[in-house]
């Protein structure tokens, strides 16, 4: 199958440091190539991929201080994709609702994965305006926020099996990994660690938008004994950081659609203690890969129960549920459904979408399907 992956230009694919969406796009792209498909990646020119790379801008916009209007560059890239759309059997967008208007008017089937929040009232207007633009959710929780959207399915994220793995070390601290903002729960993590009597190490990015919050609320707490702020770390540093933690704290205060740090921790055999919001209950198997809790008191209590979770059992759980190979297989099922829907519509309109006569054979490999039921039905 000839597949186009269209990524945001904010970060490279994969990102050099923080960037969950671009990380997932990279993992999916590489897994689709591994499955034997012809994949083209539209992304920033400093991206790295085994697929064909088409540059929408020479450098990731986060690293390019000369760009003031990111929307202009994304619009230009969408037009580039539109002009080349007939080269592909399916277009897979990761740009929220931006492709809907243009690509709903073209013949090439397309689908959009929604990576962000959907709990704002204005989102409903967009999806009501484009009732046949197929979208994919990254958790059932995310999908529930807009139940009437044209869902083509739900695909939980996955990452390469060999990207992160347990490091032989003695866990000695609690960990916070990701981004510092009010909804991510850093203040709660510091309080829980202090009450538990265990040091907390914080490996996190501070966005410009959250700078004032960091300075006013978080920085004063960093001077407390047992709290160490490391800053932003790369993938190469995560295995050691997570393996050294007795648990990852994810005490979020919003309906996070997925939460990539949870499966990164699982890959390293590290349990997760998380508030049961958003997709957390879909990802954490309570009592097996961590604890799903409701408040800070319960989180402190969970820290005291961590010895009941054998760390050796966490990594196999990750391998069963959260690999990029499984993720790519789930997306291929959705692609086939979306193309089938487009074909039926074309036939009703008096034209036919021609599926390619042959496809390259995918390498033979065992694919776990026990969680196949999390994908929703076709949108038509």
Please report, for the domain that includes residue 194, its CATH number: 3.40.50.2000
Measured CA to CA, the distance from residue 85 to residue 80 in angstroms comes to 9
At residue 364, the pLDDT reads 37
Among 7, 67, 14, residue whose Cα is nearest residue 43: 7
At residue 351, the pLDDT reads 56
Q: Burial level of 156, CB count in 10 A (0-12/13-18/19+)?
A: buried
181 with 280, same domain: the answer is yes
At residue 344, the pLDDT reads 81
| Residue where one domain finishes, among candidates 281, 305, 321 | 321
315 with 340, same domain: the answer is no
Question: How distant is the alpha carbon of residue 273 from its chain centre?
Answer: 19
Decide the pairing of beta strands 227-229 and 151-154: unpaired
| Domains contained in the chain, number | 2
At residue 354, the pLDDT reads 45
208 with 266, same domain: the answer is yes
At residue 377, the pLDDT reads 30
Cα separations (Å) of 176 from 39, 187, 245, 253, 350?
Answer: 35, 11, 9, 14, 56
Sequence-ordered list of residues with C-beta below 8 angstroms from that of 24, at least 6 positions apart, any chain: 115, 157, 159, 260
Measured CA to CA, the distance from residue 151 to residue 143 in angstroms comes to 8
Q: Read off the pLDDT of residues 56-115 as tens digits, 9 standing for 90 and up.
A: 999 999 888 899 999 999 999 999 999 999 999 999 999 999 999 999 999 999 999 999
At residue 234, the pLDDT reads 86
Decide the pairing of beta strands 272-275 and 2-6: unpaired
165 is a domain residue = no
Query: In the chain, which residues have pLDDT < 70?
Result: 350-380
Decide the pairing of beta strands 200-205 and 227-229: parallel
C-alpha angle 94/371/144, rounded to 5°? Answer: 55
380 is a domain residue = no
At residue 163, the pLDDT reads 96
At residue 367, the pLDDT reads 36
199 with 300, same domain: the answer is yes
Q: Read off the pLDDT of residues 27-53 as tens digits, 9 standing for 90 and up.
A: 999 999 999 999 999 999 999 999 999
At residue 123, the pLDDT reads 86
150 is a domain residue = yes
67 with 206, same domain: the answer is no
315 with 199, same domain: the answer is yes
168 is a domain residue = no
272: containing domain = 173-321
Among 22, 16, 12, 5, residue whose Cα is nearest residue 260: 22
| Residue where one domain finishes, among candidates 321, 347, 365 | 321
């Amino acid at each position: 199958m000839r597949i186009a992956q269209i990524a945001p230009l904010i970060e490279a694919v994969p990102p050099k440091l923080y960037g969950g969406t671009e990380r997932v796009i990279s993992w999916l792209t590489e897994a689709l190539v591994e499955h034997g498909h012809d994949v083209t990646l539209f992304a920033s020119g400093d991206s790295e991929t085994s697929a064909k790379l088409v540059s929408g801008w020479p450098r990731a916009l986060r690293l390019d201080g000369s760009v003031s209007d990111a929307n202009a560059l994304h619009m230009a890239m969408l037009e580039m994709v539109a002009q080349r759309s007939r080269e592909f059997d399916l277009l897979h967008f990761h740009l929220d609702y931006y492709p809907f208007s243009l690509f709903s008017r073209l013949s090439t089937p397309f689908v959009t994965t929604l990576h962000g929040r959907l709990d704002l009232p204005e989102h409903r207007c967009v999806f009501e305006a484009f009732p046949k633009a197929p979208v994919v959710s990254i958790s059932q929780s995310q999908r529930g926020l807009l139940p009437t959207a044209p869902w083509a399915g739900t695909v939980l994220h996955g990452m390469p099996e060999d990207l992160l793995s347990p490091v032989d070390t003695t866990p000695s601290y609690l960990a916070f990994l990701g981004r510092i903002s009010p909804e991510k729960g850093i203040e709660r993590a510091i309080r829980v660690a202090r009450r538990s009597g265990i040091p907390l190490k914080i490996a996190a990015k501070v966005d410009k938008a959250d700078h004032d919050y960091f300075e006013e609320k978080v920085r004063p707490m960093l001077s407390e004994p047992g709290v160490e702020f490391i800053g932003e770390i790369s993938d190469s540093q995560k295995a050691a950081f997570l393996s050294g933690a007795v648990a990852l704290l994810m005490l979020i205060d919003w309906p996070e659609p997925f939460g990539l740090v949870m499966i990164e921790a699982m890959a390293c055999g590290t349990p997760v203690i998380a508030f049961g919001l958003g997709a957390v209950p879909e990802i954490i198997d309570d009592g097996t890969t961590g604890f799903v809790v409701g408040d800070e008191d319960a989180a402190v209590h969970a820290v005291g129960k961590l010895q009941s979770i054998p760390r050796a059992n966490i990594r196999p759980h990750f391998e069963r549920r959260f690999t990029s190979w499984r993720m790519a297989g789930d997306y291929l099922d959705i692609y086939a459904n979306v193309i089938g829907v487009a074909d039926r519509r074309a036939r009703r309109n008096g034209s036919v979408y021609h599926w390619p006569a042959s496809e390259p054979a995918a390498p033979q490999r065992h694919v776990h399907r026990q969680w196949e039921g999390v994908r929703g039905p076709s949108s038509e």
